[in-house]
C-alpha cells in the first residue's frame, strides 16, 4: 500500500505568496486539514476531492500523491528506497516518464542528481522484473514522478496532475515573457471581481488575463482543455467517480454576458494572438478585442481595469519605462474616474513612477520575478499626491528585505465595492 493510501494526505505545490488564497480555494474544493509549508500545502482529501482539485483549481501548480517517505542523507539510500517502490502498479514499460526534484536543507545538494538516482532506480526496477525499461521523456511524459528532500527526509510522489496545472491548454500562441496562468488567476481571485461590472485589460498581450477572467466568470474548470491527468495512473483510480466530477463541473458552465470582458493592445500581433487563444475556450468569441494605445482609450471610467504593463523583460530596455508609467498614471487619474485598477508590477520599483497611492499591495512571486499586485481606486476628480507616491517608490527600491517596516495585512483587503481582476505585459501572454 502506498503512503497516500494510508492517510489520504497529498501535497499541493503553489507559488510563494499564494498559500493563503490557495488554502481557501482547496477548502472550497473539498480539502481538509490543510497545513502550509515551503511553497505548498499539505492537505487531506478523498478521491472525489482529489479529482475535483486537479480539475478545478486555478492557483495550484501540481498535486502530489506521496508513494514512500524515508530518511535520506546520501544518494545510495535514495536509489535503494526508490527501487523498492512497486512501479509496475502505477505504469508500464510503454509509458514514458520524467522525474523532477527539489531539495531543501539536506546533505544531498544537487536536485538533478537526486532526480537521476530515482530515474535509474525506476529503470532498473523494470529491467529486473520485465527485462524491458520505459523511456524517459522530459517535456511531455505520460507519468511525472516528484522527489522532495527536506532536512534529510525524502518523499517520492506521483504527480496526480500529470504536469504543471498552469498549462491550461488555451495558450497555443504566446508573445515574449508571458504571464503565468496561475498568477493571472491569483490576480482575478484577489480582486474579487464577480462579473457584474465590465472588466478591461488595456495591455492584453496574448490574452492570459482575459482568459482567466473568462474562465472565472463562466465557471469553466481550469483543466477543461487538459486531455489527461496523472491521477489516472494511481492504482485506485475510479473512472466512474472521475467522470461524475467532470460532468458536475461542466454543468455549471454559464454564458458570458455581452460587454463584460474586453481587452486591447497597441500591437496588432498581440490582439490576433489573444483572439486565437480565447477562441479555444467556451464563449471566448464574446471577449471584445481591439488594437489601440491604452492611453488613448476613453471608455474605462467606472470599470474594472486589470493589466500587467511592460517592465523591461519583453522590451529588453528600461530607459523609457519611468516616463511611460508616469503617463499611464496621468491617464488613469484624468480619464478613468470611478474605475478600480489592479496592476501587476513585475518590477516593483516602477510602482512609484505611476504617481498614485495604492489601496494595497500584494507580493506575487513567480518565474524569478519578485512582483507586486497593486490596487488603486480612482475617485472622481482625484488628483493624488504624485510626489508622495514617488517617494514611496524610491523607498521600495532601497529595500532589500520585506516590504518596509509598516504593518500590512497578510492578504489584501478588498476595495470598497470589492470587485476586480489582474495583470499582463504590453504584448504579453
- Range 181-220+236-398 has CATH code 3.40.50.300: no
* 423 pLDDT more than 50: no
Class of residue 153 by CB neighbours under 10 A (exposed 0-12, middle 13-18, buried 19+): middle
What 3-state DSSP class applies to 54?
helix
The phi and psi torsions of 17 (rounded to 5 degrees) equal 100, -10
For residues 61-87, give the mean pLDDT. Answer: 97
What confidence tens digit (pLDDT) does each residue in 229-280 have? 999 999 999 999 999 999 999 999 999 999 999 999 999 999 999 999 999 9
The CA distances from residue 345 to 61, 127, 325, 328, in Å, are 21, 51, 11, 13
**Mean pLDDT of the 360-379 span:** 89
> How many whole angstroms separate alpha carbon 230 and alpha carbon 367?
24
Query: What integer best gives the mean pLDDT of the chain?
Result: 88
What is the spatial distance between Cα 286 and Cα 199, in angstroms, rounded to a whole number? 13
Is 3.30.2130.30 the CATH classification of the domain at 3-159?
Answer: yes
Please, which pLDDT band fits residue 415 given cuts at 50, 70 and 90?
A: very low
Residue 297: which of 266, 319, 269 has the closest Cα? 266
Give me Rg for the CA atoms of the chain.
23
Of the two residues 400 and 416, the one the predictor is more confident about is 400
Listing from the earlier edge strand, what are the strands of the sheet with 153-159?
A: 32-37, 40-44, 9-13, 62-71, 153-159, 143-150, 97-104
All structural domains of the chain with their residue ranges: 3-159, 181-220+236-398
How far apart, in whole angstroms, are the C-alpha atoms of residue 284 and residue 171? 12
Spatial neighbors of 247 by CB under 8 A, at least 6 apart, are none
pLDDT of residue 420: 28
Find where cell 491604452 sits. Answer: 294
**What is the bridge-based pairing of β-strands 261-265 and 288-291?**
parallel
pLDDT tens by residue, 165-181: 999 999 988 777 689 99
How high is the pLDDT of residue 428? Answer: 39
Amino acid at each position: 500500500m502506498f503512503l497516500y493510501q494510508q492517510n489520504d494526505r497529498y501535497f499541493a505545490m503553489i507559488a510563494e505568496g499564494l498559500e493563503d488564497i490557495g488554502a481557501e480555494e482547496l477548502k472550497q474544493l473539498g480539502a481538509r486539514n490543510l497545513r502550509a509549508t515551503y511553497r505548498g500545502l499539505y492537505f487531506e482529501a478523498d478521491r472525489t476531492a482529489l479529482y475535483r482539485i486537479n480539475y478545478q483549481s486555478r492557483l495550484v501548480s501540481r498535486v502530489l500523491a506521496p508513494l514512500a517517505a524515508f530518511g535520506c542523507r546520501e544518494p545510495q539510500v535514495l536509489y535503494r528506497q526508490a527501487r523498492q517502490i512497486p512501479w509496475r502498479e502505477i505504469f508500464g514499460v510503454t509509458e514514458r516518464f520524467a522525474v523532477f526534484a527539489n531539495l531543501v536543507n539536506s546533505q544531498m545538494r544537487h536536485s538533478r542528481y537526486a532526480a537521476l538516482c530515482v530515474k535509474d532506480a525506476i529503470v532498473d526496477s523494470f529491467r529486473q522484473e520485465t527485462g524491458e525499461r520505459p523511456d524517459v521523456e522530459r517535456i511531455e511524459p505520460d507519468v511525472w514522478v516528484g522527489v522532495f528532500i527536506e532536512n534529510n527526509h525524502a518523499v517520492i510522489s506521483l504527480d496526480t496532475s500529470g504536469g504543471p496545472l498552469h498549462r491550461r491548454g488555451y495558450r497555443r500562441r504566446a508573445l515574449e515573457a508571458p504571464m503565468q496562468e496561475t498568477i493571472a488567476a491569483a490576480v482575478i481571485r484577489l480582486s474579487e471581481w464577480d462579473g457584474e461590472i465590465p472588466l478591461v485589460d488595456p495591455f492584453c498581450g496574448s490574452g492570459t488575463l482575459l482568459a482567466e477572467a473568462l474562465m472565472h466568470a463562466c465557471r469553466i474548470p481550469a483543466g477543461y482543455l487538459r486531455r489527461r491527468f496523472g491521477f489516472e495512473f494511481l492504482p485506485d483510480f475510479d473512472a466512474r467517480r472521475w467522470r461524475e466530477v467532470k460532468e458536475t463541473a461542466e454543468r455549471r458552465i454559464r454564458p458570458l454576458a455581452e460587454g463584460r470582458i474586453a481587452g486591447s493592445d497597441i500591437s496588432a500581433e498581440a490582439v490576433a494572438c489573444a483572439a486565437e487563444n480565447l477562441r479555444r475556450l467556451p464563449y471566448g468569441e464574446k471577449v471584445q478585442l481591439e488594437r489601440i494605445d491604452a492611453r488613448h482609450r476613453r471608455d474605462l471610467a467606472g470599470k474594472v481595469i486589470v493589466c500587467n504593463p511592460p517592465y523591461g523583460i519583453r522590451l529588453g530596455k528600461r530607459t523609457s519605462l519611468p516616463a511611460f508609467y508616469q503617463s499611464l498614471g496621468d491617464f488613469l487619474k484624468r480619464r478613468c474616474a470611478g474605475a478600480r485598477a489592479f496592476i501587476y508590477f513585475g518590477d516593483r520599483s516602477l510602482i512609484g513612477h505611476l504617481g498614485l497611492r495604492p489601496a494595497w499591495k500584494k507580493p506575487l512571486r513567480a518565474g524569478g520575478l519578485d512582483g507586486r499586485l497593486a490596487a488603486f481606486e480612482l475617485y472622481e476628480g482625484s488628483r493624488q499626491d504624485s510626489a508622495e507616491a514617488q517617494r514611496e517608490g524610491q523607498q521600495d527600491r532601497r529595500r532589500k528585505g520585506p516590504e518596509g517596516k509598516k504593518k500590512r495585512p497578510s492578504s489584501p483587503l478588498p476595495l470598497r465595492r470589492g470587485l476586480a481582476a489582474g495583470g499582463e505585459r504590453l504584448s504579453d501572454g
